[in-house]
Amino acid sequence: MASNRLTFHCRPVGDRAVLFTLGDRIDADVNARALECARAVLRSGLPGIVDVVPAYASLLVHFEPRAWADRRRAPHVELIAALEPHLLPPAPARSNRRDVARDRVIPVVYGGSHGPDLERVARHCGMTPDEVVRRHSAAVYRVAFLGFAPGFPYLLGLDPALATPRRPTPRTRVEPGAVGIAGAQTGVYPLATPGGWQLIGRTPRRLFDPTRDPPTWLEAGDRVCFVPIDGVRFANAEVAWDD
Amino acid sequence: MGRLTVLAPGQWTTMQALARCGVARFGITPGGAADVLSHRVANALVGNADDAATIECTLVGPKLRFDGDVEIALCGADLGARVANVDVPRWRAVWLRRGAVLEFGMPIRGARAYLAIAGGIDVPAVLGNRSTDRVGRFGGLEGRELRAGDVLDVDSTPFPGVRDDVTMIASPRVAAWARELDLVSTPVLRVVPRAHEGVDAGRVAAFVSTEFVVDARSDRMGLRLAGPPLAGPRLDEQVSSPVVTGTVQLPPDGHPIVLLADHQTTGGYPVLGELASVDVPRAAQLRPKDRVRFAWISVEEAQSRWLRFETDLALLRAAVRA
């Protein structure tokens, strides 16, 4: 990292959101910066901020135009000017940032009826199913952001040797807790939905509960590990939210 | 308190309020009324706050029996609402006598109608809001569409001495709103363009000179547009990034998708732009086989039109209170 300040550009997205873009690739450092900016905007206390949504290399700020109207310039221009000071990097060294991340462990029953595509992935990758499990559970992943479905994590850090294309035909129903691979991505389905990912296992851990605050067990920036557990424990497992 | 009993569910009937704030960062769709203009005006006409739940009716409306006298307002599409043989007028407050059965005939114009009841509908708020989240299965009535046999608690507004099933209550004029939404045969929806979002100049130009047809696969997640595909060089998938209600995506098949209230929070398709907020309600009123075109609008003009709506709505609320 040569520069202490990542360049970004910002532009309106429709008439009630602005998008700050910090890069155009999937990159852990740029993503960490995007998450920092999102937290800074939420802490800023500026009026009319409806939501702040980070992604790999960008953050979208939803705002209420009424809160920024009746000023000298258009609402989105006023908002961007007010936000920019909050998006400068903080003085402390970059390395401090990683100490703030939480560690999350996701128990997974790999294979069998809970991972119907494990053997297919193994064949595609030219390794045994055990090797797939070993590599998948050896990595430390990072939650780049949540999207697609409530609590669904976009995870950085899949071993490239495990990349497997999506199923040509999606399943009409994927069970909640299913752990899958699609292309170079891995993730966990928080809810039963249709899905085309290759399913290699399933976790009994609940990832989404709308009665809780926050409603998702994972948050952007979390470090995540998958730990193999056996099927017997799955049936009996009652994984509490706060474990 | 009064009760509202669902005798027949209609095609897709859900409780909706405003969009949820602060949830998109968890992957939760903001949701809320697809035509938020009609939802808010209906609430204003019966003296409700914006965030009171209404019943969003789609194409074929439900059959509802009110066990107490109620003050209601129906805004948005004309879905042929009537009580017995009396048409229920839209865009004004109306009193229904206890025992009235509100039902709907053939959809006449538009896709979604919003039924507001004075005092709102008594269901718990989830994540601060009463809108139905179908994917997450929470909010509204148990996170699902209404079914025959459902019973909802609503306020009763007794009007002693009136004997008719349907009585109009003096209401401020909202004719201008109705005209805005009563669509001409091929409406032109205005889009704030996005630059450099993975779409070539040829397709960008074609987008505003093509007449599209709304496909039957459209729903609360989005309008799917059929018609001639926008053709050009290969469209690459983009890195997943946040999208909003009104985002116009362009998938590889060249058929644009206009995202509506229940959109997923992120997407990887190239983006043409976002609908002006004032035109999202018009998009939500399009039915399968309706024709539609698009035009560009500046972000300043779009914001200005939205702010004008907010001012008009505030005036309407003040007039109802007076």
For B34-84, give the DSSP string. SSHHHHHHHHHHTT--TTS-EEEEESS--EEEESS-EEEEEEEEE--EEET
CB A148 to CB B133 under 8 A?
no
Residue of A nearest to B246 (CA): A14
Confidence band for A2, pLDDT divided at 50, 70 and 90:
very low
Q: What is the largest CA-CA distance in chain A?
A: 66
Residue of B nearest to A54 (CA): B25
The single-letter code of the amino acid at B186 is T
A10, A78, A133, B201, B274 from A13: Cα distances, Å:
9, 15, 41, 19, 7
B26 closest CB neighbour out of A57, A76, A146: A146
Confidence band for A240, pLDDT divided at 50, 70 and 90:
low
| CB-CB contact of A105 with A227 (8 Å) | yes
The single-letter code of the amino acid at B140 is G
Whole-number Å distance between alpha carbons of B75 and B39: 7
Note the pLDDT of residue B259.
97
| CB-CB contact of A21 with A27 (8 Å) | no
Whole-number Å distance between alpha carbons of A186 and A20: 26
Note the pLDDT of residue B178.
67
A148, B42, B80, B259 from B219: Cα distances, Å:
17, 22, 21, 9
Token pair listed for A241: 């939210």
CB proximity B314 to A under 8 Å: no
Whole-number Å distance between alpha carbons of A104 and A115: 21
CB proximity A230 to B under 8 Å: no
Confidence band for A96, pLDDT divided at 50, 70 and 90:
very low
| CB-CB contact of A199 with B10 (8 Å) | no
Note the pLDDT of residue A93.
46
CB half-sphere exposure, B36, CA atoms < 13 A = 23
CB proximity B311 to A under 8 Å: no
B181: enclosing H helix or E strand? helix B175-181
CB proximity A74 to B under 8 Å: yes
The single-letter code of the amino acid at B33 is A
Whole-number Å distance between alpha carbons of B181 and B292: 14
Complex confidence, ipTM: 0.91
Give the burial class of A175: count Cβ atoms within 10 A of its Cβ; 0-12 exposed, 13-18 middle, 19 or more buried: middle
CB interface of B with A, residues 242-301, below 8 Å: 242, 244, 246-247, 264-266, 273-277, 299-300
Burial B27-43, CB ≥16 within 10 A → b, else e: bbbbbbbbbbbbbbbbb
Whole-number Å distance between alpha carbons of B269 and A148: 13
Token pair listed for A41: 């905007």
| CB-CB contact of B72 with B94 (8 Å) | yes
CB B239 to CB A208 under 8 A?
no
Mutate to test the interface with B, among A8, A10, A13, A146 (most CBs of B within 10 A): A13
Average pLDDT over residues A101-128: 95
Phi-psi region of B223 (alpha: psi -120 to 50; beta: other; left: phi over 0): beta
Q: What is the DSSP letter of A38?
A: H
Report the DSSP beta bridge partners of residue B86.
B83
CB interface of A with B, residues 165-194, below 8 Å: 190-191, 193
Average pLDDT over residues A106-115: 94
Note the pLDDT of residue A141.
96
Distant-in-sequence, close-in-space partners of A35: CB < 8 Å, separation ≥ 6:
A54, A145, A220, A221
> What is the Cα A136 distance to its own chain's centre?
17
Token pair listed for B168: 């109009």
Mean pLDDT of chain A: 88
- Residues of chain A found within 8 Å of residue B136, distances taken between Cβ atoms: 150, 191, 208, 210
pTM for the predicted model, two decimal places:
0.92
Report the DSSP beta bridge partners of residue A52.
A61
B21 closest CB neighbour out of A17, A50, A55: A50
Average pLDDT over residues A75-91: 85
Q: Among candidates B35, B242, B246, B282, which has minimal Cα distance to A15?
A: B246
- Give the position of tokens 């998109």: B24
Whole-number Å distance between alpha carbons of A112 and A109: 8
CB proximity A28 to B under 8 Å: no
Terminal CA-CA length for chain B: 25
Q: What is the DSSP letter of B279?
A: G
Name which of A78-92, A229-243, B54-68 the model is least confident about: A229-243
Whole-number Å distance between alpha carbons of A113 and A117: 9
Q: What is the DSSP letter of B288?
A: T
Distant-in-sequence, close-in-space partners of A56: CB < 8 Å, separation ≥ 6:
A23, A25, A26, A27, A30, A31, A34, A144, A145, A154, B239, B240, B241
Per-residue pLDDT in tens (0 to 9) along chain B, 322 residues: 789 999 999 999 999 999 999 999 999 999 999 999 999 999 999 999 999 999 999 999 999 999 999 999 999 999 999 999 899 999 999 999 999 999 999 999 999 999 999 999 999 999 999 999 999 999 999 999 999 999 999 988 887 777 888 888 877 777 676 667 766 678 999 999 987 667 888 999 999 999 999 999 999 999 999 999 999 888 877 777 899 999 999 998 999 999 999 999 988 889 999 999 999 999 999 999 999 999 999 999 999 999 999 999 998 998 888 7
Confidence band for A3, pLDDT divided at 50, 70 and 90:
very low
CB neighbours of residue B197 within 10 Å:
18
The single-letter code of the amino acid at B269 is Y
CB proximity A110 to B under 8 Å: no
> What is the Cα A15 distance to its own chain's centre?
26
CB A191 to CB B21 under 8 A?
no
CB half-sphere exposure, B175, CA atoms < 13 A = 1
CB interface of B with A, residues 220-239, below 8 Å: 239
